[in-house]
Amino acid sequence: MPIKQSAKKALRQTIKHTVRNVKILSDIKTTIKKIRRSIELKQDKKKIEEMIKSVQKMLDKAVKNKILKKNNGARKLSRLMAYLNKGNKPVEAK
């Protein structure tokens, strides 16, 4: 346990930031899973496109706030778009 006051504050901040970051990453993963499921079930294209816009916004904010690295966010979006364009066939990673 921290002894100094500044270390105690740093611990409180770290816990608060970790909770926030985990929530954001969880929301991103959940939304991506919903989109993939909608694509597999061949649901309404407009609804899927709206969900993709929302996940793109989430990814951009996560990258801006340094929750995700830049290429990680771009890769997630790229793979999602490739999945959409190919139907429901999974994209092979090289």
Q: How far is CA 16 from CA 20, 32, 58, 64, 72, in A?
A: 6, 25, 19, 18, 23
Q: Using 50 as the pLDDT threshold, list the residues of the chain that sit under it.
A: none
Which CATH homologous superfamily contains domain 5-85?
Answer: Ribosomal protein S20 (1.20.58.110)
Position 42 scores a pLDDT of 87
Position 43 scores a pLDDT of 87
pTM score of the predicted model:
0.83
Domain map (residue ranges) of the chain: 5-85
Rounded CA separation 59/68 (Å): 8
